Structure 1
Amino acid sequence: MAQHLTSGGIRLDSAIGRPSTDGETLTQVFVDPPAEGWNSGSAESLEPLARKFDVAKRDARNRELGRAGEEFVVAVERDRLTKLGLINEASKVTWVSRDQGDGLGYDVLSFAEDSTQLFIEVKTTHADIDAPFYITERERAVSARKGASYRLYRVFRFSRKPQIYVLRGPLEDTLRLKPAAYRATVRTPEG
């Protein structure tokens, strides 16, 4: 995928409905997070629904969307830092999940206005601002360890007009977390 930074904003060429935000400013990309209670229609109230779908295709689409969202955030961060006059920091923004591998608990290494490091986890959706998302235990733990230097960038409306809201770590201070999966092992009679 080709990446272009323009004087008016960020444009990424599209293969999967990636955004083109020519003429957009960072103030139009970054928005406030939804208000408390924004997601009142929880999945708990839904009846189970049996349906057939190709899990492998869904997972592949989600991975591709995740990569595209991360690439978008890298471009946004470089643009943000450049506009702040932090050219050296902009050149050091790193897409760590691509370059070093996934599993660190964050996807992008960037910098704050005072040049301190920011550890950014990116969650991307084509849906609206109120779409729920999943975080891993590692992401939660890293957000607790990194504290205020940890950010979750929720990229939404990705294929239309992408916007980002930002949550600071630790994530349990800003999110309502509900278990969605468990790692299981067989108990022995004595344990």
Structure 2
Amino acid sequence: MTEPPIQPNLTPQFCFSTVALRDFLRISRGAIDDSITQNLNALVTPAQSGFDPTSTSVRIPRNPSQPIDPRACRAFKDKVLFPSWQARSDVLTYCAYVATSPDPDDPEVALRAVETEKNRERVVNERLDPYSGRYFPREARTESLANLLRQERSVESIVRSRTWGLVRERCGDSFQDAEEALNKWRGERENRGT
């Protein structure tokens, strides 16, 4: 069974390192969600009753919706799928907190202050130069992080929806929504005290 990627140590530096943040999300999605068909196929045990030599005389296409043992599905969801989703949720939630908190360590705060001051001293004559009135201040790194997180949350929603559709199809799960299933798993985990 596929193992979910290890959740990184959550620090503001991790969040502001957009390469590290995106890499974690990409690797986690690639290991679990992007290869969900292969992960689900790995749960099927085609030779449960032993090998039948006559089965090789005629090629019969495998039914892609071959039923999977409900216990194997449950184990996959509980040990791989939901923990992976939870780890990504934890990272996105923590980084959203970082993006909305004051950032006293922002290395570009002085540079933005200088640019703003220069803009105030600038002479604007839009009659001579219609573009002279434009000023686009540098974005604070918390704003950049917030924009990135909005994009990643949208991607996460799409990825989970697609993955859950395949899991529902192959495992016959009763939950219509991925978030509903994840919330139930969270509740069960809290009740067990893990």
Q: Which has the larger radius of gyration?
A: 2
TM-score with structure 1 length normalisation? 0.28
TM-score with structure 2 length normalisation? 0.28
Higher strand share: 1
Higher helix share: 2
